[in-house]
């Protein structure tokens, strides 16, 4: 079962879920034992397939750290925080968390785009 470790202990995902905003980007950093990589990838694929079917889902992308580090970063884009909250708290998704390898630690956090003049748009 994946353990949750907040990226920001002062503002964990549970507190972020109540904010009415959108669009949002979920960034989720996973750390795990190297021996668990294949089972992690299988569970993540099933997890992502469920999320892809949920209202408000836009896209997702999984990245692996370079070199020997069994660290993964996932980001997913959602139309609204309410859409993400509905999917994240859905009983079917919550049951999927128990399928992750015991070594997996997930650090989910929600973000919004920031406009920086001349560099990027929100």
Tens of pLDDT, residues 63-112 = 999 999 999 999 999 999 999 999 999 999 998 888 999 999 999 999 99
- The dihedrals phi and psi of 46, each to the nearest 5 degrees, come to -65, -45
Decide if pLDDT at 28 tops 90: yes
CA distance 67 to 21: 37
pLDDT band at 122 (very low <50, low <70, confident <90, very high): confident
Helix (H, G, I), strand (E, B) or coil at 55: coil
Tens of pLDDT, residues 34-55 = 999 999 999 999 999 999 999 9
CA distance 23 to 21: 7
Tokens of 13: 């995902």
Please name which of 101, 61, 108 lies closest in space to residue 81, comparing C-alpha atoms: 108
pLDDT value at residue 1 = 67
Which residues, at least 6 apart from 17, have a Cβ–Cβ distance to it below 8 Å?
Answer: 81, 84, 85, 88, 89, 110
Decide if pLDDT at 20 tops 70: yes
């Amino acid at each position: 079962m994946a353990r949750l470790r907040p990226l920001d202990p002062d503002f964990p995902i549970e507190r972020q879920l109540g904010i009415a905003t959108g669009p949002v980007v979920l960034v989720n950093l996973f750390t795990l034992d190297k021996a668990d990589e294949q089972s992690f990838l299988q569970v993540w694929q099933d997890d992502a397939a469920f999320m892809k079917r949920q209202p408000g889902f836009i896209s997702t992308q999984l990245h692996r750290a370079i070199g020997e580090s069994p660290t993964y970063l996932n980001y997913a884009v959602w139309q609204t925080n309410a859409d993400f909250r509905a999917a994240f708290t859905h009983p079917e998704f919550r049951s999927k968390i128990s399928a992750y390898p015991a070594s997996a630690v997930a650090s989910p956090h929600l973000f919004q785009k920031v406009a920086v003049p001349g560099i990027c748009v929100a």
